[in-house]
Amino acid sequence: MPANVVDPLSVSESRRWAMLAASTFAQAAGVVANNGVAYLIPTLHRHEGYSLSTAGAIAAAPSFGVMAALVGWGWLADHRGERVVLLAGAGLTTVFSAAAALSHGVALLWLFLFLGGAASAAANSASGRVVVGWFPPHRRGLAMGIRQMGQPMGMAIAAVTIALVAAHHGVHAALWVPAIGCLVAAAAVALVVLDPPRPPRRAGSAPNPYRQDSYLARIHGVSVLLVVPQFVIGTFMLLWLTDARGWSTGAAGALVAVANILGAVGRIAVGHLSDLAGNRMGPLRWVAVAACAVMVLLGITAGLDWVVAVPLIVLASVLTVADNGLAFTAVAERAGPFWSGRALGLQNTAQFLTAAAAAPIGGLAIAHLGYAWTYVLTGVLPMLAVGLVPVRGERRVS
């Protein structure tokens, strides 16, 4: 592990916020490389002649790469620092995205997208460690909420850029978007990000936090349960609005975009609330209870075809993503400076795996039970999560 050569007192408040901005942008650029490939499916199918199954397999390649690499990048951040991981991840994502843009044939395209996804996973763990390392406990909830905006921001950038470039100039031209974005992110990281201070590592000074108690495992379980309604709403909201409510695609898409923006703001608000409350688990429990109530109400009103179901689904989309920053902050704080990279990697891996299963299972439930019952049954999971939220062992934020 590199020695800490930066005096924390010499780092200004503006530099800390600049590091947060660079880390958030690195996260957003990684999301463009990972999730943005989904916006290539229409062009791959309609203009490149690929079947929907082949196009879907190509779009899934980066996600497989992310899941394969999250814990490894976390281990590297624990042992070699955050700056090198962010730089290596953004740099390699640039290289592999460019290689995908220049590739020919499905096999090579899939391979380079897989490797690009694996490289983009670096920002998931390292950017969270930058927040926890450079911001004091009473500001971390707010800072992590801002950092968590990287995902919706990346999705918005991808929707605007990759889809349009692919439609007008083809798939390979669109793949230069994440390559350029990650190159800019690497430059931003190189300019402003410093490894946060951490105590000197001595023999026995970094015990495995998973062997001490069940605190981290319980938070992982809470996040897994809450990610199911998040992805059921996120995946099928547009379809529900158009099929069940009769909205036009344009109007439904606009409401989905508004819901995503509100969700990003909600993450910041809940993070700041946890700073004010002096703990993470209380607000996490409140979010889970509220998500359960709103999902059940959404199911009832959707079944009765009441118009209030529309604002309720927007509220549900906000509440079901509000826990992300809280859980992420709590995991990093509890794991400590020598284990938080791996712990955050495990946190994200569990969520990715659950999300991958939530969409097809949700679709099956909607096909056989309808939207109303699917929403109600999905709403039971946040209540189960309430029972898993740790009630003891949290260190008070101060």
The CATH number of residue 76's host domain is 1.20.1250.20
Separation between Cα atoms, residue 296 and residue 23, nearest integer Å: 36
Domain co-membership, 217 together with 328: yes
Domain co-membership, 80 together with 227: no
Domain co-membership, 52 together with 134: yes
- Is the pLDDT at 224 greater than 60? The verdict is yes
- Is the pLDDT at 370 greater than 70? The verdict is yes
Separation between Cα atoms, residue 36 and residue 206, nearest integer Å: 37
- Is the pLDDT at 197 greater than 90? The verdict is no
Domain co-membership, 224 together with 184: no
Last residue of a domain, one of 192, 220, 236: 192
Domain co-membership, 294 together with 366: yes
- Is the residue at 362 inside a domain? yes
- Tell me if 232 sits within 8 A of 373, measured CB to CB: no
Domain co-membership, 231 together with 316: yes
- Is the pLDDT at 3 greater than 90? The verdict is no
Separation between Cα atoms, residue 6 and residue 14, nearest integer Å: 16
Domain co-membership, 178 together with 239: no
**What is the reported pTM?**
0.74
- Enter the tokens of residue 139: 């500001």
Res. 6 pLDDT band, cuts 50 70 90: low
Domain co-membership, 252 together with 285: yes
- Is the residue at 7 inside a domain? no
Domain co-membership, 114 together with 228: no
Note the pLDDT of residue 293: 95
Note the pLDDT of residue 306: 93
**How many other CB atoms are there within 10 angstroms of residue 353's CB atom?**
13
Mean pLDDT of the chain: 85
Domain co-membership, 166 together with 73: yes
Note the pLDDT of residue 398: 53
- Is the residue at 294 inside a domain? yes
Q: Could you report the per-residue pLDDT of 20-70, keeping only the tens digit for each?
A: 999 999 989 998 998 888 778 778 877 777 786 787 788 888 888 988 888
- Is the residue at 396 inside a domain? no
- Is the pLDDT at 2 greater than 50? The verdict is no
Domain co-membership, 182 together with 217: no
- Is the pLDDT at 200 greater than 70? The verdict is no
State whether the Cα torsion 323-13-17-315 is positive or negative. Answer: positive
Mean per-residue pLDDT, 98-120: 92
Q: List the domain range (segments joined by +) for residue 36.
A: 13-192
Domain co-membership, 259 together with 142: no
Mean per-residue pLDDT, 380-387: 92
Mean per-residue pLDDT, 272-297: 90
- Is the residue at 125 inside a domain? yes
Q: Could you report the per-residue pLDDT of 176-195, keeping only the tens digit for each?
A: 999 999 999 999 999 999 88
Separation between Cα atoms, residue 319 and residue 55, nearest integer Å: 32
- Is the residue at 202 inside a domain? no
Note the pLDDT of residue 361: 86
Tally of domains in the chain: 2
